Structure 1
Amino acid sequence: MAPSAEYRSGGPRYLSSRIDDLPGFAFAFDIDGVLLRSSGIIAGAPEALALLHRNNIPFILLTNGGGKHESARVHELSKKLGVPITEENFVQSHTPFKELVEGSEAIEGLKDKTVLVTGGDGDKCRKVAEMYGFKNVVIPGDILMEYPTIWPFNQIFSDYYHKSTRPLPRQVDPTNPSTSLKIDAIFVFNDPRDWALDSQIILDLLLSKDGVIGTYSEKNGDPTLPNNGWQQDNQPALFFSNPDLFWATSYHLPRLGQGGFQASLQGVWDATTNNATLSRTVIGKPFAHTYRYAERVLNKHRAQLLGESIRGASELRRVFMVGDNPESDIRGANEYDSPNGTEWTSVLVSKTGVYRAGMEPKYKPQVIVDDVLAAVKWALKEEGWDWVE
């Protein structure tokens, strides 16, 4: 079907029994703007997921949202959407950070290192990181409460931080770096609530020597070094969990997301370093790392769902990625090159999320539909699954 084709939702239908036909396809759904808008259910979402659940058609939820542990999110979503969702078929923006706990041949594990985690409400993201296996997790509020002079407007959020902070594992003493607080990695788990404090502390760490709070690397600005000396002195690695500039909330216009904070930090970095390169790692949609991770999760979930019968089933041939954001959901599905040869087909909803019908999407989907129920019906029709009234 042509990229501009549209398929509008009709009345309720149900799939006919396909006992002898195991699905060689599956679905990946974004959440915000596809299944939910803020905390409200989007019409047709429960019906779409129930249709797949009744017919043992595998699906995962693949979202750039986060801020809570996967177990809490799937409990909430199962109740709202009326179908069982588990951690086995759910991937949120920071889920792949789990892989950095133990590390790999290419990356040293961070399990026993000290990491800074920012974003989310209070210290919820700290608790998520600890549930992943990180043992020493600091949040910006911890630093502010013990060293309020690090940010001159500390009084504004003092009451907020008092409820969620802990003593630091080490004192901040830049005159004695060997015993001072050292940060080995920085994780932006979710949209920061206090952009100013988080930006200041992240910038301090990126300018530090060896990640020691309060130090300033003598290599910064040295024209004889790569990148004029910036980030050349064992500063902590910087990770963002998603690049979304905007996301759909209960407000009628899209709101700034984690990508907005990232752009703001980039601007401060550019002004500070005269446009030196900022080294960081960004995951989440549309990046291939997240799609590879999601495909592994989906294949494992598919094997569990189909059980013994999967022995006679074909490999997963096709995944329908249903999303509302052309620059994350659609771009990611279009550009992802599966190592397993699985085809990812992009489906854009036009009436429930960031994208609005009539706009020219920067990244063109395979098809544009009204909503998630229409997306599922179109995909099933593409796969030749029959309907009965």
Structure 2
Amino acid sequence: MSIGGGIPESRRALELSDLLGVKILPSQVLLGHSPFRNLLNRFENEFIVATGKGEPAVVMSEYGFKRVVSLDEYASYFDNIDPVAQYKRWTTKHESECARNSEKIVSSSYMLSTKVKAAFVVSDPVDWGRDIQVLCDILTSGGLPGQQNEHQPPLYFAADDLEYQAAFPHERLGMGAFRIALENVFNRIHEKPLQYTSFGKPNPSVYRHAEMMLGYLLQFSSSSNDVMKNADVESHSLRTLYMIGDNPLVDVKGAVQAGHPWFSILTRTGVFRQKENHTSHPADMVVDTVEEAVDFILKRENA
């Protein structure tokens, strides 16, 4: 199950278990930032910065990254790095995040002298202006704001949705919109274009990661007929994987690009509201609700 991020999979699993009345394991939850785990070998002991709503540093720390701080905390060590901070009426609380990190980083001298080796946009940023400013400082200086231009540190995004459906009747700007804003500003002030990697949909790697995790779970699941009916028992490969989503440009496009064994079901519950299938990125099936999509899958698999 892939849903919004900003908190660890372990906590989201507890929320889903309580909501659904079914035991959900953390390994059964895939968030946009879950693939960041694959970068642990490269950055486990490197100094990195994470930003986004929720607790981005806690998320990265639970993946095993040992020297990670939130951008909220990082910016607080640089006087006047955010020139309009005095006009902001909100405050941030990074102490609880820092306390949960596997290795605390509290030295001011360390913060002000150590290069950031990578920046991670874990979830939708809250303070776009501050984050664009500080990320540009990090990325144009080679990892240490105020220094001379050097090689740009790696930048990673957990998603690239331009828009998404929230409680407001009209779509809201997503992480993809933030990426566009950051990229345009960076490219105006730096001689080389911004380099980044996006792990979010519609990148086929997201779907491959889900396949890998489902295959892993399948190997340790019960060998009952109910569990194995839609699988090749010997190879532990699923014959069909169903993608249920409400965004043709993201959910359906990604499933189509991923190809076999993905089957896309488009719902009229969010970004997509049209009567007919999407013209540019048509899904294998279009339904009104998620419940209707689940009913279709159960009937199809039990046929």
TM-score tier (shorter) = 0.7 to 0.9
2:43 maps to a residue whose letter is L
- 1:380 and 2:302 matched: no
Match runs of 1:241-256 below 5 Å: 241-256=158-173
8 Å contact 1:183–1:213 — kept in the other structure?
A: no
Structure 1 unaligned runs (5+)? 1-60, 103-108, 174-179, 218-232
8 Å contact 1:184–1:235 — kept in the other structure?
A: no
Alignment match, 1:328? 250
Which of 193, 216, 228 aligns to 1:300? It is: 216
Q: 1:312 to 1:366 in 2, by over 3 A?
A: closer
More helix by share: 2
Alignment match, 1:41? none
Corresponding residue SS for 2:220: helix
Which of 17, 20, 42 aligns to 1:78? It is: 17
Structure 1 residue 289: deviation in Å? 1.5
- 1:152 and 2:83 matched: yes
* TM-score normalized with structure 1 length: 0.69
Corresponding residue SS for 2:126: coil
Which of 142, 153, 158 aligns to 2:73? It is: 142
Give the Cα separation in 2 of the matches to 1:294 and 1:368: 22
Q: 1:100 to 1:358 in 2, by over 3 A?
A: same
C-alpha RMSD of the superposition: 2.3
For 1:125-157, what per-residue CA distance to the aligned partner results, in whole angstroms no more than 9, with x for missing partners? 111111111111122222332223111112244
- 1:367 and 2:299 matched: no
Give the Cα separation in 1 of the matches to 2:245 and 2:10: 23
Give the Cα separation in 2 of the matches to 1:202 and 1:194: 12
Corresponding residue SS for 1:150: coil
2:177 maps to a residue whose letter is G
Give the Cα separation in 2 of the matches to 1:198 and 1:183: 15
Which of 265, 277, 284 aligns to 2:193? It is: 277
- 1:112 and 2:112 matched: no
Give the Cα separation in 2 of the matches to 1:293 and 1:360: 27
For 1:149-193, what per-residue CA distance to the aligned partner results, in whole angstroms no more than 9, with x for missing partners? 1111122447613554863564465xxxxxx12100000000000
The structure having more radius of gyration, on CA atoms, is 1
Structure 1 residue 360: deviation in Å? 6.0
Alignment match, 2:103? none
8 Å contact 1:330–1:365 — kept in the other structure?
A: yes
Q: 1:308 to 1:373 in 2, by over 3 A?
A: closer
Structure 1 residue 254: deviation in Å? 1.4
- Identity, % of aligned positions: 32
Give the Cα separation in 2 of the matches to 1:312 and 1:298: 13
1:256 maps to a residue whose letter is L
- 1:344 and 2:262 matched: yes
Structure 1 residue 312: deviation in Å? 7.7
Give the Cα separation in 2 of the matches to 1:181 and 1:246: 35
8 Å contact 2:60–2:68 — kept in the other structure?
A: yes
Alignment match, 1:176? none
Give the Cα separation in 2 of the matches to 1:325 and 1:270: 29
Alignment match, 2:2? 62
Q: 1:138 to 1:157 in 2, by over 3 A?
A: farther
Structure 1 residue 240: deviation in Å? 0.3
Corresponding residue SS for 2:202: coil
Corresponding residue SS for 1:116: strand
Corresponding residue SS for 2:186: helix
1:366 maps to a residue whose letter is D
Match runs of 1:210-225 below 5 Å: 210-217=142-149
- 1:240 and 2:157 matched: yes
- 1:313 and 2:230 matched: no
Which of 95, 99, 102 aligns to 2:38? It is: 99
Which of 94, 112, 130 aligns to 1:197? It is: 130
Give the Cα separation in 2 of the matches to 1:254 and 1:170: 43
Alignment match, 1:24? none
Match runs of 1:17-56 below 5 Å: none
8 Å contact 1:347–1:375 — kept in the other structure?
A: yes
Structure 2 unaligned runs (5+)? 99-105
Q: How many residues align?
A: 288
Structure 1 residue 375: deviation in Å? 1.1
Give the Cα separation in 2 of the matches to 1:162 and 1:75: 23
8 Å contact 1:138–1:168 — kept in the other structure?
A: no
Q: 1:303 to 1:149 in 2, by over 3 A?
A: same
